[in-house]
Structure 1
């Protein structure tokens, strides 16, 4: 029997390493890379597709257009004009860390609450110098009741001292603060629950503070306060003022 040489088989490469016509036809197929590793026209077309980076790693025009979109950082990591415009927005802090008006408002609000809180805490600690420092020199405070209206930070601190200094303890709790600022002026509204103890006797007041504050060279200070009493319980004689 005569055998056909294997080199003549249509689906095997020739013995010398070249491809027979059938295999050559496969090599020349439009969707298969050539044996030498180059790309045929179909693969070249894929390389040239706008959503595929070129073989050299650069971007074709369509992908470059994506890189140039206003909401995508450039390849070098810098921001295009649109994100930079966001950085320059008036309600966003600048990249260099400067304070915009929103941050200043938050800072002022925190300082106002500190003054109001320090005044309440200092009364409980009987630190009358600290109480005096919370008020402006021309402050006008409407306490109501037996104390009435007091003008001047020194007089206010003294009136509070005469009322509270002979207590065994006191606790002024502040809640629901609302602060509004306008330049160098601010308002504060909040609730007060003040409990006073002498021996075994207690007297507790529920009230609302309506405050006006002013920015001074030394910081925010209370320049006006109206104390509106809402409820009370216990013996009011617990806080009878000190007599001369």
Structure 2
């Protein structure tokens, strides 16, 4: 959500514009701090199966480091918008289809290897646009790898933190991290992460889900209009 806020809402309020690279670096910092904070809770609840989570996290981290340090500097504004829009569309689709719990089993080796490849490319996405759509990996973990939903959330959150960290390291190597903006956004996001649950308890899951769908749809339409103007 931070990308469209900085890209479209902030300029309307202040009249100032951030470069797309500044926005992606700020989103990357927010992703790291929020997922790292959440990972502590999942660790304490013993919901991170490190035997698998570390392997997935390392694969995604390699992808985010490569894209953050080598690929992102050569990516133009239109490509980033298209990639972000695609993630938003897929996120909306998966949000419309609730994940149903399956019987937890030990992942089959071949499917786990495929998962390693998938999360590598999701990591590359993170290094480019600041978010990797880890929500897109959750159905694969539940339906194919047969993780429980709670362990799936714990694993993807932990992996997301490591992936974001190495994306930050990669971008730092080539001087593409705007630390001032990134830290302000990250701190604000962490505060929101703590305050948010206090307000969310006043709304039903259905209302929250519908609200998220409306936000995603608004983002998709806005990004599509921006893409059209930049073609």
State TM-score, norm by structure 2. 0.20
> Which structure shows the higher strand fraction?
1
Looking at CA atoms only, which structure, 1 or 2, has the larger radius of gyration?
A: 1
State TM-score, norm by structure 1. 0.19
> Which structure shows the higher helix fraction?
2
